[in-house]
Structure 1
Amino acid sequence: MTVLSREAPRLPVPPKPRRTRAQVIGWIVAAVVVAAHVVAWRATDMSLGALVEGWQGMADFLAEAIPPDLSSEVLGDGIAAAAVTLWIGLLGTTLSIPASLVLALLAARGTAPGRGTYQAARSLLSFLRAVPDVVFALIFVTAVGLGPFPGVLALVCHNVGVMGKLWAEALEDADPGPAQALRSAGAGRIQVAAHALLPTVTPQLVGLLMYRFDVNVRSSLVLGLVGAGGIGFLINQSIQLFQFDEMLTHILIVLVLVVAVDRLSALVRHHLGSST
């Protein structure tokens, strides 16, 4: 008896999955990012070999900087200069509040009088943010001379651009309910801003202000390197005179100052967050 062999039915071969548009775009973006890093690596003359070969210079530098000079004269000068750095950051933050608030109201869609004013305020804020505070400091140093004053002016100009934008975005993200209620009652833009928007976003505005104060204290250190006073000026002077032990002392003082300001800023922001 013969058994007829039957071939097993062939299952259809599933089609190859096609790459979606999002996957293609993802691969293109990844390739562009890798290519940009390759170009940047070559353009900036990155060389790990040069870093390894320069270990002797770094070792000599650390040997001359350690231990730091903790003499009373160096510590006294450093602490006094650190206080100046703190005051530069404080004034650069607080003196920028009026202009930042006005530009924020003009650059927020809900409070801007018109589209032209909105675009003009946004453009001014973009310009003030685009110019680094160091460039502002160099300009003001040539205008009013060396010292803390040009540092304060530089921080005010740059901080208005940054803080005005942050505050404008906070105003745009505010709860529209109270503002709409006042508008329906016939209130004007200034009344809506004063009695509805600003009270609603005050904790956010103060939190952003404290954050900018933290950043400005760090920035005032860099401004001192270009002649705007503060402990940055002493650090630059110590490097130029090859007094690296004094430089390390000033850096340690800066570390204590930055940590203290950071903790104060974080404490205030935490208090504001817990009270809302």
Structure 2
Amino acid sequence: MKKHLTIGLILLSICFSLLYFNGCGALLALVSAVFGDLGAFAFVPFLEEGKITESQAGKLPGMIMLYTNNPPPGYKPLPGATAKIAGVSMTTDGNGYFHITGLPVGLQNLSIEHPSYVSIEQQIPISDPNTSSVTFNNFNVTPSNLLIPIGIGGIFQFSSYATSSNGTLVKPLTSWSVIGDIGTIGEETGIFTATKAGTGFIRATSGSSSSQTPVTVVNGTGTVYGYLTYNSQPVKDATVYINGFTQYTITSIDIRYQIPTIHLQPAPPVVREQIWRPVMSSMVQL
């Protein structure tokens, strides 16, 4: 009897200590939650003297994110950038590296920002570290579509993911290939380099499963910029991006936005705020 009473008091004490987390029910949520991690590198291109300056483009273009510390030719690490994912942020070190732990398993949006470079955002699969990827279904590729320029910023690392037998996200071993004369891709890494304007597909294969995603390659020589208003009122601190394009910008205090190194050929810019709503904008493409 004394033993059972002691156990009961311990459990009651735990419940009271978890009141801050919305009661004893939070204990079950904490126990059942699954967390993963993300380690990656931010790189930026070496830009030729006089080719493009910050005063000409607002911020410098071409930032990319890779999972391995192997910068492509013409690229260098980007220290001091802020990587944000699932409400957690980390600053890149001297090698452009960041490592974030305790991330919810699933598809998460990663953004990387730096005062001198155009920001990027892409969808990242955070896998369950406790589940094998040998048996899976719903094999997919992220992103679901990609718009990418030739030259500066014309490198992107694709990711594959699937659903395990217990319903969590896993990342199966994948081989990669390109359909169409638009570029090259590392068979094991999924790192794509755009070389020719046009449309094609990136294909991922894992065992008997396969998936593909459309890619549009454009000559990245234009700049999209304009002023943002809603009901004739200025809108600042809104996110402006182009569907499928990793680079984005935030409207400034004078409601301007500017995204360099891309043509507005496939689709117009899209505006995202904390709450989605229609936005009118004025745009000019050079």
TM-score using structure 1 length? 0.20
User: Which protein has the bigger helix share?
Assistant: 1
Q: Which protein has greater RCO, CA pairs closer than 8 Å, 6+ apart?
A: 1
Bigger Rg, structure 1 or 2: 1
TM-score using structure 2 length? 0.19
